Amino acid sequence: MKQSVLVTKTRKEVPVDEVARNAKLLIRAGYIHKTMAGVYSFLPLGLRSLEKIIRIIREEMISIGGQELSMSGLQSPDVWEKSGRWGDDADEIWFRSHLSAGGDVGFGWTHEEPVTEMMRNHIHSYRDVPLYVYQFQTKFRNEKRAKSGIMRTREFMMKDLYSFCADEEQHAVFYEQCAEAYMRVFTRVGLGDDTYRTFASGGAFSDFSDEFQTVIPAGEDTIYLDPKKKIAVNEEVCTDETLEKIGLQKNDLERVAASEVGNIFTLGTKYSEPLDLTYTDAHGKPQPVFMGSYGIGPARLLGVIVEKYGEDSGMSLPMSVAPFSAHLIALGDSKETFTAADMLYRMLQEHGLDVLFDDRDVSAGEKFADCDLIGIPVRLVVSDKTHAQKKVEFTDKVNGGERLLDTTPDGILSAMKEVGFSPIQQAYA
């Protein structure tokens, strides 16, 4: 895409009403727009990053047998009354409204109840399980405070997967597969080294649930981590009893701030019993379905990535999530140089590279500042000087290092691949 037609502009000034680094940077770079406190819109750059993250999560969910669907946001009280989660004590979570046709309605903040109800049409026999469904769907939560940018918002997209198994044994196999798929997601988006599977509070059916916590200074949670074992415990449950149970030594642990980037829960029959989701076993006897739920918020993930890869002056995002893989900049006054840059842009696009081309008639300083802010990991510069040598300046912004390359697509693509580029099917031109 040409930057001259990109609908957004960067901003020099830091938004005064934001405290979180991710919101400050993403607003300045033109990725997001604040609609109101705790509510953001995604502009083209932000949406491209979000779509790359979604694609990675989708691939991993498909790899463990997940099937995608999309449930409604609007929720009828009936089904939630059965589980006891429509009650007044949940008033700080629900947004509720009224139907003009009469009756109450809520806006879904999670989907255990409706997915359990829905699956009654499709699960009948032991041959119908195990079965895994997931969605990328917008949730609404009536958060009292919202000050962490896109890491905690009142409206957010969630990837929520629900598993339906015959029994605890069948469930345990999938639960571990999903935990591994989650770690692959965090590795692919650039958070693998700092993300720890973390023991957290459980429920009726398990001693613990598993959180995935990424260590960042802005993290809202506190965890105790064992860096050697790459395991952590949420402060909530970090008692002597817990440590003994899971085999960690108090002296090996570090206390750090972290942000929850995913969680997985064993639900057991907590929802299938009150909502009457059963299957007939091999002996013809009805049995409650054994369930689990598994969440990742793609926008929250982007927020955490920006916290990790951002600085006050800008950011260098991992190739896998940056809105474009390369930022091509044309410098100098010569028309020939500009034409050469434009030809290179077209050639790279034809070879499957997603490039943002700064073709604007602004100063070199402004172009470099925007490039630093927007955070695309590779910078390509065509100037009068490089053009005279028929070269392009290639900068790996993440690992550092500048060099001159021939202006052939093959050479540039192979340099791109060295720094992690892989052509993906682009949803957008």
126 makes contact with a second copy (CB under 8 A): no
Strand partners, 210: 199, 264
347 makes contact with a second copy (CB under 8 A): no
Considering only residues 139 to 178 of the shown chain, the ones binding a second copy according to CB under 8 A are 140, 142-146, 154-155
Give the other-Cβ count within 10 Å of 391's Cβ. Answer: 18
User: Residue 229 Cβ, how far from a second copy at the closest point, in Å?
Assistant: 34
2 makes contact with a second copy (CB under 8 A): no
Measure Cα distances from 370 to 30, 309, 362, 366, 400 in Å.
10, 16, 11, 6, 18
Give the other-Cβ count within 10 Å of 218's Cβ. Answer: 19
Rule CB under 8 A: choose which of 20, 43, 216, 305 binds a second copy: 43
9 makes contact with a second copy (CB under 8 A): yes
371 contact partners, CB below 8 Å, separation of at least 6:
327, 329, 358, 379
User: Residue 63 Cβ, how far from a second copy at the closest point, in Å?
Assistant: 9
Q: Which of the stretches 71-79, 179-187, 241-249, 367-375 binds a second copy when contact is defined by CB under 8 A?
A: 71-79
Closest CA to 340 of 265, 287, 391, 303: 391
Size of the site for a second copy (CB under 8 A): 64
Rule CB under 8 A: choose which of 14, 19, 65, 281 binds a second copy: 65
Rule CB under 8 A: choose which of 67, 201, 363, 399 binds a second copy: 67
Measure Cα distances from 147 to 23, 48, 372 in Å.
9, 24, 25
Q: Which of the stretches 41-49, 172-180, 316-324, 341-349 binds a second copy when contact is defined by CB under 8 A?
A: 41-49
Measured CA to CA, the distance from residue 273 to residue 333 in angstroms comes to 72
Return the residue matching tokens 């109101």: 36
Q: Which of the stretches 37-45, 184-192, 270-278, 395-403 binds a second copy when contact is defined by CB under 8 A?
A: 37-45
251 makes contact with a second copy (CB under 8 A): no
Measured CA to CA, the distance from residue 340 to residue 140 in angstroms comes to 49
Q: Which of the stretches 66-74, 172-180, 228-236, 382-390 binds a second copy when contact is defined by CB under 8 A?
A: 66-74
Q: Which of the stretches 7-15, 176-184, 226-234, 270-278 binds a second copy when contact is defined by CB under 8 A?
A: 7-15
69 makes contact with a second copy (CB under 8 A): yes
Give the other-Cβ count within 10 Å of 345's Cβ. Answer: 23
190 contact partners, CB below 8 Å, separation of at least 6:
305, 308, 309, 317, 318, 320, 321
Residue 105 or 257 having the CB closest to a second copy: 105
423 makes contact with a second copy (CB under 8 A): no
346 makes contact with a second copy (CB under 8 A): no
Measured CA to CA, the distance from residue 53 to residue 299 in angstroms comes to 8
DSSP string, 281-297: -TTS-EEEPEEEEEEE-
Residue 75 or 209 having the CB closest to a second copy: 75
Residue 69 or 364 having the CB closest to a second copy: 69
> In b/e form, how buried is each residue of 144-163, taking b as 16+ CB within 10 angstroms?
eebebbbbbbbbbbbbbbbb
Q: Retrieve residue 219's tokens.
A: 């993290």
x/- binding map, residues 89-108, to a second copy, per CB under 8 A? --xx--xxx-xxx---x-x-
Q: 69, 135 in Cβ contact below 8 A?
A: yes
33 makes contact with a second copy (CB under 8 A): yes
Interacting residues with a second copy (CB under 8 A): 5-9, 11, 30, 33, 35-37, 39-44, 46-47, 50, 58, 62, 65, 67-76, 91-92, 95-97, 99-101, 105, 107, 114, 118-119, 121-122, 124, 131, 133, 138, 140, 142-146, 154-155, 425, 427-429
